[in-house]
Amino acid sequence: MVTYENGPLLSNGKDWAEEIKKTEHYTGIDIRMEWRKIENTFYNYLYRYPSMGVGFSSMTRYSNQLGRPMGIYGFIEMPFSRRGIYKNFYLSYFGQIGLGFHIKPYDAESNPLNQFVGTNLNSYIHLGFKANYKLSNRVSLIGSIGLKHFSNGAIKRPNAGINYIPIGIGVKTKLGSVHPLPTEAVNYPELEKRGFWNIAMYLGYKNYEVDEGSYFRGGLGINYLWEASYKYRVGLGLDWFYGAGVNDRWPGENTNFLDANSFAIVGSWEWKINKHLYAPVALGVYLDRSEFNNEMTWFYERVGVRYRFDNHVFIGVQIKAHKAKADFFEFTMGYTIPGKVQYIRSK
């Protein structure tokens, strides 16, 4: 699949961002290799036979302030309608996550205007919607619109984040044998209504001031989640966060334990993409927050992706943010303790 993309750069309203926006415009190409899951299994049927794969994205021109942002990523795409996938035209939504690179970062002397990112290597995220029109059994036309984002999660400031709104048009060609999608409905398995304890450790680094060092940022979380449906788990828990170097970062201040640590109650939600892969989403409310660690609002958000192995160990990466402004990237590892089945219900 090859797509040509074109769209504006989003400004954050700052004078320097408005200055860059005058000359910056995204034009790029996106190349993907995808595999559509057509086995007639429960999760494939539940999510309307989604596509997964890998891809590469690149601007087609060089920017004096931003360089030529590129990204390599993995993605998942899901149709909106089960009926639509059997027609020539259908709509879908997608998410891409990976690494962004070949970006010209902020430099006080050579690139002072660009305060969008402070590193060459960043996270790459692209979320959007896609229209698919089948010309033949092998060839389809596609159109898309979305939000493309580059950020280092405050590992090194400045880090306002680069945001584009690319509108794309392209062509998709099927390789190898062409197999039709299954048309038979799949019986839903028995839904085990039970609770789960998630115990997670968060690890990361945070840069607090431009041209100064980065410090360890981490914590622990304990959440109890309930199997709400075939797709979702919901729950409640507690988070503890720690910011290292508070004495170094605030010399002369009379800091104490609570200035380096914070505690919160958090509402959690898990979107089960399949048996192992899921997306955690959370909204936390601080019971005690630390302004010395740049926790400037009374609440925070979390979103990411995790993979849970058969032995209940999970790993993942999330972004913790305050009003959509990154606090730090959480590289997560943990363990899930499943509770006893209380009752079983079939759809």
Confidence band (pLDDT; 50, 70, 90) for 150? Answer: very high
Task: Tell me the backbone φ, ψ of residue 340, rounded to 5 degrees.
Answer: -75, 145
What rounded mean pLDDT belongs to the chain?
93
Per-residue pLDDT for 332 more than 80?
A: yes
Percent of the chain surpassing pLDDT 90: 81
Buried-exposed string 119-130: b where 16+ CB fall within 10 A, e elsewhere: bebbbbbbebeb
Among 179-188, 198-207, 225-234, 302-311, which stretch is predicted with the lowest mean pLDDT?
A: 179-188
User: What pLDDT, on the 0 to 100 scale, is given for residue 37?
Assistant: 83
CB–CB of 145/127 below 8 Å? no
Averaged over 17-33, what is the pLDDT? 93
Among 123-137, 167-181, 300-314, which stretch is predicted with the lowest mean pLDDT?
A: 167-181
pLDDT digits (tens, 9 = 90+) for 38-94: 888 899 999 999 999 999 999 999 999 999 999 999 999 999 999 899 999 999 999
Tell me whether residue 207 is exposed, middle or buried, using C-beta atoms within 10 angstroms of its C-beta: 0 to 12, 13 to 18, 19 or more: buried
User: What pLDDT, on the 0 to 100 scale, is given for residue 342?
Assistant: 65
User: What pLDDT, on the 0 to 100 scale, is given for residue 176?
Assistant: 84
Query: What spatial distance separates the first Cα and last Cα of the chain, rounded to whole Å?
Result: 37
Among 175-184, 192-201, 216-225, 282-291, which stretch is predicted with the lowest mean pLDDT?
A: 175-184
Report the DSSP beta bridge partners of residue 50: none
| Separation between Cα atoms, residue 302 and residue 219, nearest integer Å | 14
Total-model pTM: 0.90
pLDDT digits (tens, 9 = 90+) for 247-269: 999 998 899 999 999 999 999 99
Per-residue pLDDT for 10 more than 70?
A: yes
| Separation between Cα atoms, residue 193 and residue 322, nearest integer Å | 33
CA 195, 200, 205 angle in degrees (round to 5)?
155
The sign of the torsion formed by the CA atoms of 208, 210, 212, 215 equals positive
Contacts 24+ apart (CB under 8 A), 10-14: 10/163, 10/164, 10/165, 12/160, 14/115, 14/160
Averaged over 322-337, what is the pLDDT? 94
User: What pLDDT, on the 0 to 100 scale, is given for residue 339?
Assistant: 86
Confidence band (pLDDT; 50, 70, 90) for 189? Answer: confident
Tokens of 13: 């309203």
User: What pLDDT, on the 0 to 100 scale, is given for residue 193?
Assistant: 83
